[in-house]
């Protein structure tokens, strides 16, 4: 069923592929196979070191580029970090923040919140990942996700909300082939929207896009979109195979604006 949205499909390449040649080849294949998918917003989140080359490769294409993390300060003595102005100068438009694999390396809600504010202030789009490690019968995982959301959205100016994307990515579903059910996705989307409404008022709800991520593939994308009704997907493993990623994008086309 068509909805009044432009589905947002983001491929999170994580620390893949191993060489610039492979990254360029994968990007070229994605570009070629998604030429006609004009009803979908397509984003590739590549490792930092590939973004410059992909910017050149993305000329004359609608594919946008994302980073998988960023440091909040614009420049200075921060060995090993990458800043928002650097990303902007390479043409990146989106930044993934708070991915569970980064949280597992020690990123706190506070640090993620600071990065969200810096990214939104800069004019880029922040894709903030939230999600529980495991589900319990009492539903305590809702409080866990709520704490992540509350921390993420605290003190964000209302005027920046259209550049805030929340990706619900339950950790148990990432890279496991065990995706959340469409009902789980719909329930969590409503829960996230309730948190947004409580904080910013009901009129803010349509501004913030909510994605699902966690073992999305060509077999489950249709059902997840149809019943779960996320505004798109954050795709990991399946985004490393151009044909699979393109197929997920083709499927999503059916759910976008006419």
Question: Residue 154 is inside which H or E element, if any?
Answer: none
User: Residue 235 interacts with ligand PGA (CB under 6 A)?
Assistant: yes
Please give the backbone phi and psi of residue 257, each rounded to the nearest 5 degrees, phi first.
-60, 155
Give the helix, strand, coil percentages of the chain, each rounded to 5: 45, 15, 35
CA 167 to the chain's CA centroid: 5
| Shortest CB 216 distance to ligand PGA, Å | 5
Nearer to ligand PGA, 128 or 238 (CB): 238
User: Residue 234 interacts with ligand PGA (CB under 6 A)?
Assistant: yes
Q: Where are the alpha helices (DSSP H) in 90-215?
A: 100-103, 109-122, 140-153, 182-200
Question: Residue 93 is inside which H or E element, if any?
Answer: strand 92-97
DSSP state of 251: H
Marked catalytic residue, from 94, 99, 113, 179: 99
Nearer to ligand PGA, 74 or 175 (CB): 175
Nearer to ligand PGA, 237 or 256 (CB): 237
User: Residue 215 interacts with ligand PGA (CB under 6 A)?
Assistant: yes
Among 190, 169, 185, residue whose Cα is nearest residue 228: 185
User: Residue 244 interacts with ligand PGA (CB under 6 A)?
Assistant: no
User: Residue 12 interacts with ligand PGA (CB under 6 A)?
Assistant: yes
User: Residue 68 interacts with ligand PGA (CB under 6 A)?
Assistant: no
Please list, in sequence order, all residues whose beta carbon lies within 8 angstroms of the beta carbon of residue 19, skipping any fewer than 6 positions away: none
Marked catalytic residue, from 41, 169, 244, 247: 169
Among 83, 81, 85, 31, residue whose Cα is nearest residue 56: 31
Find the binding residues for ligand PGA in span 136-195 (CB under 6 A): 169, 174-175
Neighbours of 143 (CB within 10 A): 11
| Shortest CB 203 distance to ligand PGA, Å | 30
Burial classification of residue 93, based on how many CB atoms lie within 10 Å of its CB (0-12 exposed, 13-18 middle, 19 or more buried): middle
Q: Is 160 a catalytic residue?
A: no
Residue nearest to ligand PGA according to CB distances in the complex: 236
| Shortest CB 96 distance to ligand PGA, Å | 8
> Cα angle vertex 158, ends 155, 161, to 5°?
100
Q: Is 99 a catalytic residue?
A: yes
Considering only 216, 224, 225, 246, the residue that binds ligand PGA (CB under 6 A) is: 216
| Shortest CB 130 distance to ligand PGA, Å | 12
Tell me, by CB under 6 A, how many residues bind ligand PGA. Answer: 13
Among 68, 75, 35, 36, residue whose Cα is nearest residue 51: 68
Nearer to ligand PGA, 14 or 72 (CB): 14
Nearer to ligand PGA, 173 or 204 (CB): 173
User: Residue 214 interacts with ligand PGA (CB under 6 A)?
Assistant: yes
| Active centre residues (catalytic) | 99, 169
Return residues touching ligand PGA (CB under 6 A).
12, 169, 174-175, 213-216, 234-238
């Amino acid at each position: 069923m068509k909805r009044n949205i432009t589905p947002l499909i983001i491929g999170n390449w994580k620390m893949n592929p191993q060489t610039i040649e492979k990254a360029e080849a994968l990007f070229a294949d994605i570009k070629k196979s998604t030429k006609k998918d004009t009803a979908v917003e397509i984003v590739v989140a590549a490792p930092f070191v590939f973004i410059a080359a992909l910017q050149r490769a993305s000329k004359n294409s609608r594919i946008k580029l994302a980073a998988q993390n960023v440091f909040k300060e614009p420049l200075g003595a921060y060995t090993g970090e990458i800043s928002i102005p650097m990303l902007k100068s390479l043409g990146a438009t989106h930044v993934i923040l708070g991915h569970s694999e980064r949280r597992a390396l020690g990123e706190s809600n506070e640090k993620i919140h600071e990065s969200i504010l810096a990214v939104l202030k800069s004019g880029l789009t922040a894709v903030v990942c939230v999600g529980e490690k495991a589900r319990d019968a009492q539903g305590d995982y809702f409080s866990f996700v709520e704490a992540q959301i509350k921390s993420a959205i605290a003190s964000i100016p209302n005027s920046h909300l259209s550049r805030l994307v929340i990706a619900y990515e339950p950790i148990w579903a990432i890279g496991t082939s065990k995706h959340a059910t469409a009902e789980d996705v719909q329930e969590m989307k409503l829960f996230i929207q309730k948190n947004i409404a409580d904080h910013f008022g009901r009129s803010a709800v349509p501004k913030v896009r909510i994605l699902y991520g966690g073992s999305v593939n060509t077999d489950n994308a249709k059902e997840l979109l149809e019943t779960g009704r996320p505004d798109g997907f954050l795709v990991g493993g399946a985004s490393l195979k151009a044909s699979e990623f393109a197929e997920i994008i083709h499927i999503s086309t059916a759910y976008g604006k006419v």
